[in-house]
Amino acid sequence: MSFGKVVIVGSGGRMGAMLLQRVESCGIAGCGIDQPLDDKALGHCADADLALLCVPASCIADVVSRLAPVLPAEAVLADIASVKVQPMKAMLAGWSGPVVGTHPLFGPTPARKETAVAVVPGRGKQAAGNVIELFTAFGFSPFRTTAHAHDKAMAVMQGLNFLSEAAFFGMVRASEKLKPFMTPSFKRRFRAARKLMLDDGELFTGLLGENPYSAGVLRQYRRALSSGSAEEVAGLLANARTWGELIESEVR
């Protein structure tokens, strides 16, 4: 294994705690630190081979400024934020050593088939490969991409998915008058969206603002919603069915 010691910054969070457990299960020296990032906490980074930031994207620049003076020059700095363009800029600007961006495309209790991790090489010839090796040892399925390709995709997968559900349920907000008319398809959609709206709403609202491609996807969505004729809707349905056939095996 390429990393002798891994420090999880933000180990008090659910993702940070899960990743620290994975580090330790691989027999790697792991250490978790969290707020406050005082001298005692930062001292654990002095011999780190990898510092993995499990903190909100909006906090990364500040956290990097605290870590940079204590990290060894050859240590890899990486993050797991759900956006990549801005966090990569912050890490590359604040740290002169190796940098890698990652995004586990799952939550703290991933299912067996839901283990994909986007890996964005930043600086350092071997750094991304070493991080991929580590995530593979965790039982994950890492793949390489770029920050811009990642954020374009997440503007749809996270941003548009959340926004369309919020718009739909915001428009048909709870009403006793609607209950007698609930169809099975409506109930399925409600069950699928419940956690997204109740538990993760603030998270995804923040991600919409942090992703530079959200506005463009929103404009495309507005154009799609403006389709009013049966012919235009049929065209949307044809595209939707093509997409469904493409990924059907992935979502079973």
Q: Which amino acid is at 133?
A: E
pLDDT tens by residue, 97-135: 999 999 999 999 988 888 999 999 999 999 999 999 999
Report pLDDT for 251. Answer: 57
Euclidean distance between CA atoms 79 and 98, whole angstroms: 12
Nearest to 6 by CA among 75, 81, 88: 75
Same structural domain, 157 and 238: yes
* Rounded-to-integer distance, Cα 115 and Cα 99, Å: 22
User: Which carries the bigger pLDDT value, residue 28 or residue 193?
Assistant: 28
What is the per-residue pLDDT for 165? 87
Same-domain pairing of 23 and 82 = yes
- Spatial strand order of the sheet with 50-53 comes to 29-33, 5-9, 50-53, 76-79, 99-104, 116-123, 141-144
Task: Report the C-alpha gap between 208 and 78 in whole angstroms.
Answer: 22
Residues 137 and 185 in one domain: no
Residue 141 has pLDDT above 80, yes or no: yes
Range of the domain at 211: 148-250
Q: Which SS3 state, helix, strand or coil, does residue 71 take?
A: coil
| Residue 250 in this model has a pLDDT that exceeds 70 | no
The pLDDT tens digits of the residues spanning 208-249 come to 888 999 989 888 888 877 766 788 778 777 877 776 666 665
Residues 103 and 157 both lie in one domain: no
List Cβ neighbours of 71 (8 Å cut-off, separation of 6 or more).
45, 46, 48, 51, 77, 95, 97
From 145, 170, 198, give the residue that closes a domain.
145
Q: Which H helix or E strand runs over 121? A: strand 116-123
This prediction has a pTM of 0.85
Tokens standing for residue 98: 């190796």
Average of per-residue pLDDT across 84-100:
98
Sequential DSSP letters for 2-18: --SEEEEETTTSHHHHH
Count of domains for the chain: 2
103 beta partners: 118
